């Protein structure tokens, strides 16, 4: 896929086929993620890949319960209360793969670098017919000491991006955006 077409057509995808994304493909996407620019050349990223459907589904349930019980800490999520209360709602959109990107806090630039890596991965995935969706809800539990310990993430790394991933079920229309606000004359 041509790069401008890829950027113009990429959407957040929330419906996936049952086809499993192979380990090779995930590794390739992560490697493409690490081609992103990186402040001071520090490459402060680290990745966790979850493909255990039971774990993904139970993380979704636990996150929903946690957020609903602690909504006062997350005022920016209050608009999604009805989604979180819906028993059928899965925060990872029933994806078979969840990719989490952690940044090493020792680099001042870790949030920028890991966000750029996430963008690369999303675009590269789109070009392969793999849909992705950044899942902000997941921050609540996937950045905890318990979760990080379970997945071998050192304490000095913090969560920057979580994305659900899977082969796209349907073709989507390109995104629509407001006219960009350009301050300079
Ligand atoms: C930082 C961030 C957090 C997001 N969190 C969620 C989320 O928790 N759940 C979800 O379904 N979509 C989430 N999204 C996707 C946005 O809803 C989506 O990008 C926006 O509606 C525009 O749609 P588009 O990406 O298809 O153009 C998130 C996107 C970003 C960049």
**176 in a structural domain:** no
**103 in a structural domain:** yes
**Mean predicted lDDT score pLDDT of the chain:** 97
Cite the DSSP H helix spans in 79-144: 81-85, 110-127, 139-142
Q: Which of 94, 125, 133, 140 to mutate to test the pocket of ligand 1 (most atoms within 8 A of CB)?
A: 133
The answer, yes or no, to whether any atom of ligand 1 lies below 6 A from the CB of 11, is yes
**3 in a structural domain:** no
**55 in a structural domain:** yes
Looking from the CA of residue 175, the nearest atom of ligand 1 is 27
**69 in a structural domain:** yes
**175 in a structural domain:** no
CA of 35 to the centre of ligand 1 (A): 23
Contact 174, 8 (CB under 8 A): yes
Per the structure, the count of domains in the chain is 1
Looking from the CA of residue 13, the nearest atom of ligand 1 is 26
CA–CA dist 122, 99 (Å, integer): 11
**184 in a structural domain:** no
Task: Check residue 50 and report its DSSP letter.
Answer: E
Contact 138, 100 (CB under 8 A): yes
Which residue's CA lies nearest to atom 5 of ligand 1?
136
pLDDT in tens, 25-63: 999 999 999 999 999 999 999 999 999 999 999 999 999
The answer, yes or no, to whether any atom of ligand 1 lies below 6 A from the CB of 83, is no
Instruction: Domain of residue 92: give its range.
Output: 10-167
pLDDT in tens, 88-132: 999 999 999 999 999 999 999 999 999 999 999 999 999 999 999
CATH of residue 41: 3.40.109.10
Residue 23 corresponds to which tokens in the numbers above? 């380990």
**182 in a structural domain:** no
27-44 burial string, b = 16+ CB within 10 Å, else e? Answer: eebbebbeebebeeeeeb
């Amino acid at each position: 896929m041509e790069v401008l077409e890829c950027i113009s057509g990429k959407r957040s995808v929330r419906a996936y086929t049952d086809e499993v994304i192979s380990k090779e493909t995930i590794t390739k996407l992560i490697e493409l993620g690490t081609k992103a620019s990186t402040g001071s050349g520090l490459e402060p990223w680290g990745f966790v890949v979850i493909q255990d459907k039971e774990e993904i589904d139970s993380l979704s349930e636990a996150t929903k319960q946690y957020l609903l019980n602690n909504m006062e800490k997350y005022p920016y999520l209050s608009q999604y209360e009805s989604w979180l209360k819906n028993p059928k709602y899965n925060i990872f959109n029933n994806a078979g793969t969840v990719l989490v990107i952690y940044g090493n806090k020792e680099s001042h630039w870790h949030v920028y670098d890991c966000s750029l890596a996430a963008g690369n991965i999303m675009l590269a995935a789109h070009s392969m017919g793999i849909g992705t969706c950044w899942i902000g809800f997941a921050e609540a539990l996937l950045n905890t000491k318990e979760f990080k310990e379970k997945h071998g993430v050192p304490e000095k790394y913090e969560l920057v991006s979580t994305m659900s991933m899977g082969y796209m079920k349907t073709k989507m229309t390109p995104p629509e955006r407001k006219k960009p606000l350009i301050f300079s004359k």
